[in-house]
Structure 1
């Protein structure tokens, strides 16, 4: 796609979509369900849209990751090895995507979204205070985090919520602190997948850079809100976003007819 193929109005729309996606992604995840369809509707091929989406979404997760670490909502010393595990998992997932027919695994995304949304909807134990972890930090780092990273490299939707769920249910983190920790991990998975797409040349620079600016603004605003948001508001937002993504995905796959 050439630069001239897009009108100024369409660039403005894509910028606005990226800004909103950056805000929502920082809080509850799911921004890719806004940006990816928008890129496809702009006239890009699916692969080009996916690559451009990774390019612009990496800015949003990078901004959110920087803010949570700089404001000491997540410790660099405590998160760096988890970020490496997430990075490795995402690279393996993205490479696996090149080797298998992803359509045969399309059922995975709605199952994951339904599971995450249901957990936060029905679990009465989701709170802000940390509690006793169910698995060790080493087991979490060696298996759980790379598995979520693999999911992001292979599929993607709901990764931030998946990291938040894993932190709450397996490591006993409070919901806000687990959501904050998910931002550096999501950045690692995004940058890993982006590297693969860059080598493949599947992206549009002009659109990606513009949307990166929108992601930066949205993510900064979202991170500031995250630090002050009440759990009674954050939990329903995660539930709504998960089930919203689920309905959107099921409809997109043609499993629902209206």
Structure 2
């Protein structure tokens, strides 16, 4: 583990808590933790790997909280979770072999589109709507594709899961959030499995931040389950827009 002062460690733990809270509701927790790790002096490859370590804690907590609340049936989602995990493994394994620059250029535009979709589309609430894709096809195609992206790039994966569940699977906003966290957990686990072999994550730091993620994710999932779309929609718009702006800033600065 790199040498971190106590105040920097406490700031990283606080970042983990904030990320867990935001991520459990709308995704985008990496918008907080990855820059925090980089500012603390963690090398980029280790920052991405360590981010996967701590992110697994928050995603697992949120997924469990939603499942306990009856918003997702874990017994029927095994195949989707497995495919998300395999997608995460494949994406992380190919991270150094595929040209991701074009994707990073297109990603801010896609995220702004997602923000506009949730901000402007009428009738987005917690009620299920018309399904536009059969569940088997959705599981076999969309789920591993987003899992692959999560392992390859990461930021925005939760937003992509959300819009897919709402626009293609016909889920209400709260139900889509619950299923998003389950699949996010497994695509994170898949990415972590690969990064553990090649990315040398800082395990102790990741676990410390992960414990804070548990507290933040539990609080976020509890609030989301209580308030539903009235909380999830505006926070999703804000996080998608903020992530898009950060990616644009990174492109201009590079």
Structure 1, unpaired ranges of 5+? none
Are 1:91 and 1:150, in contact at CA under 8 Å, matched by a contact in 2?
yes
Deviation at 1:85, TM superposition (A): 1.5
* Deviation by residue 1:200-220 (Cα, 9 ceiling, x = unmatched): 142112211110111011011
Deviates more, 1:242-251 or 1:197-206: 197-206
Partner of 1:24: 22
1-structure distance, mates of 2:70, 2:249: 40
Paired residues for 1:221-232 under 5 Å = 221-232=219-230
Tell me the TM-score normalized by structure 2: 0.95
Tell me, yes or no, if the aligned pair for 2:156 and 2:240 is still in contact at 8 Å.
Answer: yes
Instruction: Show structure 2 runs of 5+ residues with no match.
Output: none
Could you say what the CA RMSD is over the residues aligned between the two structures, in angstroms? 1.5
1:176 — aligned with what? 174
Residue deviations 1:25-82 (CA, integer Å, cap 9, x gap)? 0000101011001001111110010000000011100111111122221001222111
Residues 104 and 247 of structure 2 are in contact (CA less than 8 Å); yes or no, is this contact kept in structure 1?
Answer: no
- 2:168, 2:103 → 1: CA distance? 25
Task: Pick one of 122, 125, 133 that aligns with 2:123.
Answer: 125
Map of 1:184-223 to 2, 5 A cutoff? 184-223=182-221
Which residue of 140, 147, 162 corresponds with 1:142? 140
Instruction: Please tell me whether the aligned partners of residues 173 and 228 of structure 2 are also in contact (alpha carbons under 8 angstroms).
Output: no
TM-score normalized with structure 1 length: 0.94
Match of 2:252 among 230, 237, 254: 254
Out of 225, 236, 239, the position equivalent to 1:238 is 236
Q: How does 1:28-47 map to 2 (within 5 A)?
A: 28-47=26-45
**Which whole-Å CA distance do the structure 1 matches of 2:104 and 2:230 have between them?**
32
Equivalenced residues, count: 254
Q: Give the match for residue 112 of structure 1.
A: 110
Native 8 Å contact 2:45 2:199 kept in 1 = no
Q: Deviations over 1:138-173 (max 9, x none)?
A: 110010111111111111112112111111100111
